[in-house]
């Protein structure tokens, strides 16, 4: 039996509710990868820019952040430069860089339950179909139960990716936040040093 024939048999023999559950979990899986790839590339690019900017500040190659830095627009207005402004800017930049992380958290927490819902429905349908028969052997019950349990496995599979990607992106956001914080401290220290002279 080929893969396409196996899928066709599965679709033909499975209930509508289980098919809907599998479609929802498939959508979750695609969404999980889309959010991860989008945010990971964005965060990595921003981290690279901020790391170079911070290195230039440390080495004394620059008096201000790189023009591509997220803080550049805020540091060019030196008359209003303050610790509070830079903290607010950093917070806003991290918030905009990490949007959609909630989607991963929701997917990682709900997909096992969606899969479990499909399993419960599948088992209920199996027992309802078998209730009309006088007796049923294991060879009749086992394939229906294993088909129902498949949906739980799919839900857990999706949750593993969503949870892992969520943690990876949180770590990248933490790194970006640390870089922005270090840049802010250096800029403020230099500004205070200039006013003391």
Kindly state whether residue 27 falls inside one of the protein's structural domains: yes
Kindly state whether residue 122 falls inside one of the protein's structural domains: no
Kindly state whether residue 34 falls inside one of the protein's structural domains: yes
Kindly state whether residue 154 falls inside one of the protein's structural domains: yes
pLDDT at residue 160 greater than cutoff 80: yes
The per-residue pLDDT for range 69-128, each reduced to its tens digit, is 877 777 776 556 777 878 888 888 888 888 889 999 999 999 999 999 999 988 888 887
Kindly state whether residue 144 falls inside one of the protein's structural domains: no
pLDDT at residue 149 greater than cutoff 90: no
Kindly state whether residue 131 falls inside one of the protein's structural domains: no
Q: Are 46 and 70 in contact (CB under 8 A)?
A: yes
Structure confidence at residue 35 (pLDDT)? 96
Q: How many domains is the chain partitioned into structurally? A: 1
DSSP labels for 57-88? HHHTS-SS--TTSTTHHHHT-GGG--HHHHHH
Structure confidence at residue 153 (pLDDT)? 92
- What domain range includes position 75? 16-114+149-196
* pTM for this model (two decimals): 0.82
Structure confidence at residue 38 (pLDDT)? 95
Interatomic CA distance for residues 139 and 152, integer angstroms: 21
As a whole number, the mean pLDDT across the chain is: 84
């Amino acid at each position: 039996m080929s893969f396409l024939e196996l899928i066709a048999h599965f679709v033909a023999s499975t209930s509508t509710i289980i098919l809907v559950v599998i479609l929802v979990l498939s959508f979750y899986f695609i969404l999980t990868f889309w959010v991860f790839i989008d945010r990971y590339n964005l965060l990595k690019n921003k981290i690279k820019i901020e790391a170079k900017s911070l290195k230039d500040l440390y080495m004394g190659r620059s008096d201000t952040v790189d023009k591509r830095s997220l803080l550049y627009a805020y540091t060019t207005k030196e008359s209003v430069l303050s610790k509070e402004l830079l903290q607010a800017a950093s917070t806003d930049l991290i918030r905009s860089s990490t949007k959609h992380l909630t989607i991963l958290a929701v997917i990682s927490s709900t997909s096992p339950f969606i899969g479990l819902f499909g399993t419960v429905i599948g088992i209920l349908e199996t027992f309802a179909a078998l209730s009309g028969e006088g007796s049923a052997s294991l060879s009749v019950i086992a394939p229906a139960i294993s088909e129902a349990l498949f949906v739980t496995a799919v839900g857990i599979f999706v949750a593993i990716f969503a949870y892992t990607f969520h943690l990876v992106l949180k770590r990248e956001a933490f790194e970006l936040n640390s870089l922005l914080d270090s840049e802010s401290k250096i800029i403020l220290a230099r500004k205070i040093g200039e006013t003391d002279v």
